[in-house]
Amino acid sequence: MDANWSDQDLAFRDEVRRFFADKLTPEIRRAGSRMTSVYADHDLGMEWQRILHEKGWTAPAWPVEHGGCGWTTAQRYIFTREAFAAGAPPLSPMGIRMVGPVIMHFGTPEQKAFFLPKILTGEHFWCQGYSEPGAGSDLAALQMRAVEDGDHLVCTGSKIWTTHATEANWIFCLVRTSREAKPQQGITFLLIDMSTPGIEVRPLIMTSGEHIQNQVFFDRVRVPKANVLGSIGQGWMVAKYLLEFERGGSASAPELQVRLADLITAASKQPADEGGVLLDDPAFSAKLAAAQIRLDVLEMLEFRLLSTVAQGQSVGTASSMMKVLATELAQHITELALEAAGTQGLVFQPHATMPGGAIPGYVAPTDGYVCGEPWQAVAPLRYLNERAGSIYAGSNEIQRNIMAKAVLRL
């Protein structure tokens, strides 16, 4: 594997940089550079998606026939890295990176024609209905039921930890359409319009104070059978395909490289307790060096994985490995950032950040005063939000079990 960029790749990188320099407004850059979680400010994120759609760059990994860019794997990686370096906010992954590829793979021609263009434009903004109060990492234990009634499925139950359910106008859900000997059987993958009567969304406030997560209740919600993705009772296969994209179907190293580089820059200016700057402290600089080594390893593994994808092969169980490595390293970087922030990192001041959701009850100071630098205000909220990284998309303990069974044959 040649890890060097070609002349064509470097020319593409320069084109991307010119585009970002021209199109990224200060407000949109702020939404990207001061994010407190994996989700950007909703309104500015949608504005950025509109700009990208005008350019034809909304979904680089999609096939050209569905609105993709036709880029090579290397070009997609470069675009991702340059986007984070420029401060561009990431688009919500629920539509473009998750349900979109699944609709392409399992959808009927009618479903593809209806849903895919609206995902690209942002007209359809999606949320995910997987977890339930009694079914998290053990997703096959889900209980939300869907009973057949003519041309409809009537859905009753609830989903929890549903990100941006208040903003979403569509939700993709796993529902139980029958009881079988194996819990993975009898599950159906369903696309539901959030405006359907019988749906209620209740907020869940996170430890960071943000309202990003929700619980969604379904009371005899009627959904056309035409919205089944795949076939009734075969949803587990569809869900596993989607989880490959959620766990490891995209590169995490570009964002983490930028975040670690920004932390190193901050440490080069942050005063140390013993005088000088924090970067000169041998203990802290050793932690940064160790994190950089881990990140370089992650990047090389992602290069190999993306090469596999470019050859049309499934990422398979490698997605579990990448999910563990990326989320645990992301958590570690937030720990280092919080350590570097010092006492200023203990102050709750989200007005200096760009959270992914509203913070009910928080009143910002009228003069906008910030204790320390903006990165020090971001650090504690990032730390709190990143705790969920090793839980979502299947906990890291579950991923290690998958690898032990499928790879090590234990």
Is residue 255 annotated as part of the catalytic site, yes or no?
Answer: no
CA distance 308 to 69: 19
Phi first, then psi, for residue 215 (nearest 5°) are -110, 135
Region class of 101: left (phi > 0), else alpha (psi between -120 and 50), else beta: alpha
Residue 33's pLDDT is 93
Residue 248's pLDDT is 47
CA distances from 187 to 130, 233, 316, 393 (A): 11, 5, 21, 18
Mapped onto helix, strand or coil, the DSSP state of residue 33 is helix
State pTM to two decimals.
Answer: 0.88
Closest of 322, 395, 320, 396 to residue 139, by C-alpha: 395
CA distances from 192 to 92, 139, 189, 223 (A): 18, 19, 10, 6
Q: Which residue is it, tokens 């169980």?
A: 317
Residue 91's pLDDT is 94
DSSP 242: H
Q: Which domains does the chain have, with CATH numbers?
A: 7-91 (no CATH), 126-238 (2.40.110.10), 250-406 (1.20.140.10)
Report the DSSP pairing between strands 126-129 and 170-176: parallel
- Whether the CB-CB separation of 313 and 381 falls below 8 Å is answered with no
pLDDT, one tens digit for every residue, the chain (410 residues): 456 788 999 999 999 999 999 999 999 999 999 999 888 999 999 999 999 999 999 999 899 999 999 998 889 889 999 999 999 999 999 999 999 999 999 999 999 999 999 999 999 999 999 999 988 778 889 999 999 999 999 999 999 999 999 999 999 999 999 999 898 999 999 999 999 999 999 999 998 999 999 999 999 999 999 999 999 999 999 988 887 665 445 678 989 999 999 999 999 999 887 788 999 999 999 999 999 999 999 998 888 877 776 676 666 778 788 889 999 999 999 999 999 999 999 999 999 999 989 999 999 999 999 999 999 999 999 999 999 888 887 788 888 998 898 888 88
DSSP 344: G
Phi first, then psi, for residue 148 (nearest 5°) are -70, 135
Name the catalytic one among 82, 132, 246, 255. Answer: 246
Residue 275's pLDDT is 81
Residue 336's pLDDT is 97
C-beta pairs of 359-364 under 8 Å, 24+ apart in sequence = 359/209, 359/210, 359/211, 360/203, 360/205, 360/209, 360/211, 361/209, 362/209
Sorted by sequence, the CB contacts under 8 Å of residue 367 that are 6+ apart come out as none
Report the DSSP pairing between strands 211-224 and 199-205: antiparallel
Residue 227's pLDDT is 98
Residue 13's pLDDT is 96
